[in-house]
Amino acid sequence: MKLSIIGTGYVGLVTGACFAEKGHHVICVDNDSAKVKVLRGGGIPIYEPGLEELVSSNVAAGRLRFSESTAEGVASSDVVFIAVPTPPQPDGSVDLSFIERVARDIASAMTSYKIVVDKSTVPVKTGENVTETIRRYCRAKVDFDVVSNPEFLREGFAVEDLMKPDRIVIGVGSQRPVAAMREIYAPFDAPIIVTDINSAELIKHAANSFLALKISYINAISAICEASGANVQEVANGIGMDTRIGRRFLDAGLGFGGSCFPKDLSAFIKIAEQLGYDFRLLKEVQRINAEQMDRFVKKIADTLWVLRDKKIGVLGLAFKQNTDDVRVSPAIELCQRLLKEGATLRVHDPKAMEKAKAVLPPSDKVAYVDDMNAVAEGCDALVVATEWPQFKKLDLDGARRALTHPILFDGRNLFDVKEMESLGFIYKSVGR
Ligand code: UGA
């Protein structure tokens, strides 16, 4: 099918590349001309495993191209996907102005029937506003359908998640766009559920909030484990084997971050409030998440006593493994908290160092270290802040010798408690 995707962020670019890989003809549009130039030149503005190869092979096959013009995208496609940012606002609601702008641009470019699909994460009832906006601004007065098709990919696993989705959700206001939507997703071999638009929009917020709730739940359990001497990983394994609960997203740590969970929780709480429901359960999820970081910082301070002028090595800056994304990264927050207390840092991340430099304050108190095994050099303690699997291969003997004191705070429970103790570390992890 002929598809256009407006917005080449994580969701837009990966979606476009995967649709092309499945044989559709895709034009990806972005109004950032510098970004389009990079993409046309074969560059990828984000790090996402497998994406670069997917983009280049599909560009070479003539199924994927890039443009700055929404009008060109609309003219050359039957189905137009909106995948633009919906950034948070100070009051917790989301800024829908990019969606509105794109809806107007699409409307004014439409000269024949189009299906306009919202892929951006939006609060329930946004589809109604998009429909009304297109109706108002469509000069040609042609028919159209608005569809809600939320995306469930995780950064760092985006290509994998998109190519092998658990389910496809299609929210429609009429039956007319259903066949085309099914055709787009037929090659993905995933169950498709067709709902009304409001339900589809709610599914996205409800799914992300539930996953965040699961993380806060296990983080709350981790506090009880620490107080009682139990082990949170054993508890997670034990409850996770109940298929009604499931083991995934039960890893205790520094709390969840990223551009999705924190924002979506706030947005869901806000839209619920506007609809007359006080979502106190989710407010508690937020509170536990903030508290988890406080508890970890306290653990470091309790052990090292005064942090001023202490040198601390930090492994990980990205908000999670497999990504260079540092937006709302717990690792970055931890660095900021340590810096505020007067510590100096030696930091390393396999992919996120450049992006971290842009968000951490420029300071002679932060040294960016290319080799993870060199981070501990001369430090008073080492901290694991991101769950990169390669950190498990850290030269622990070398780290212990390089540290002035063999203290390791593991915010992601990457190492085995007994092994660390037998290696001579003072080892503090989360909930164990
Ligand atoms: C999340 C959802 O998982 C996706 O399904 C969704 O499509 C996406 O948001 C979105 O709305 O676009 P993402 O933010 O990329 O994906 O990353 P996750 O893998 O969900 O991790 C989020 C945070 O939770 C990270 O900081 C991670 O370290 C933390 N986490 C995750 C835990 O602390 N414990 C866990 O067990 C799992």
Give the residue, by CA position, lying nearest to ligand 1 atom 8. Answer: 154
Using DSSP's 3-state secondary structure scheme, residue 9 falls into coil
| Closest atom, ligand 1, to C-alpha of 204 | 11
Give the residue, by CA position, lying nearest to ligand 1 atom 24. Answer: 256
Residue 257 Cα to ligand 1 midpoint, Å, equals: 7
**Cα 352 to Cα 258: distance, rounded to the nearest angstrom:** 13
**Cα 406 to Cα 411: distance, rounded to the nearest angstrom:** 16
pTM of the model: 0.96
Name residues contacting ligand 1 (CB within 6 A).
121, 151-155, 208, 211, 215, 249-251, 253, 256-258, 260-261, 319-320, 330, 387
Per the DSSP assignment, residues forming a β-bridge with 176 are none
Confidence grade of residue 43 (pLDDT, cut at 50, 70, 90):
very high
Q: Please, what is the average pLDDT of the chain?
A: 97
Count the alpha carbons within 13 Å of 253 in the hemisphere toward its beta carbon. 28
Radius of gyration of the chain from its Cα atoms, rounded to whole angstroms: 23
Residue 270 has pLDDT above 90, yes or no: yes
| Closest atom, ligand 1, to C-alpha of 11 | 12
**Cα 40 to Cα 267: distance, rounded to the nearest angstrom:** 35
Q: Are 425 and 408 in contact (CB under 8 A)?
A: yes
* Residue to mutate, 157, 208, 214, ligand 1, most ligand atoms under 8 Å from C-beta: 208
Q: Are 213 and 257 in contact (CB under 8 A)?
A: no
Phi and psi at 152, nearest 5°, equal -120, 15
Residue 339, token pair as written in the block: 């810096």
H/E segment holding residue 192? strand 192-196
**Cα 49 to Cα 322: distance, rounded to the nearest angstrom:** 7
The DSSP code for 78 is: S
Give the tens place of pLDDT for each residue, 331-359: 999 999 999 999 999 999 999 999 999 99
Find where tokens 């991101």 sit. 386
Give the tens place of pLDDT for each residue, 141-155: 999 999 999 999 999
Report the percent of the chain where pLDDT is more than 70: 100
Residue 414 has pLDDT above 90, yes or no: yes
Residue 190 Cα to ligand 1 midpoint, Å, equals: 21
Give the residue, by CA position, lying nearest to ligand 1 atom 1. Answer: 154
pLDDT for residue 9: 92
Give me the active site residues, please: 260
Phi and psi at 282, nearest 5°, equal -75, -30
Give the residue, by CA position, lying nearest to ligand 1 atom 20. Answer: 154
Phi-psi label, residue 56: left if phi above 0, alpha if psi -120 to 50, beta otherwise: alpha
Q: Are 120 and 126 in contact (CB under 8 A)?
A: no
Strand order, beta sheet including 2-6 = 64-67, 25-29, 2-6, 79-82, 114-118, 144-148, 168-172, 192-196
| Closest atom, ligand 1, to C-alpha of 258 | 14
| Closest atom, ligand 1, to C-alpha of 121 | 11
Give the residue, by CA position, lying nearest to ligand 1 atom 31. Answer: 249
Phi and psi at 3, nearest 5°, equal -125, 150
Residue 360 has pLDDT above 90, yes or no: yes
Phi-psi label, residue 41: left if phi above 0, alpha if psi -120 to 50, beta otherwise: alpha
pLDDT for residue 52: 96
Residue 69 Cα to ligand 1 midpoint, Å, equals: 32
Residue 361 has pLDDT above 90, yes or no: no
Find where tokens 């070398």 sit. 398
Report the percent of the chain where pLDDT is more than 90: 98
Residue 417, token pair as written in the block: 């408690």
**Cα 225 to Cα 243: distance, rounded to the nearest angstrom:** 23
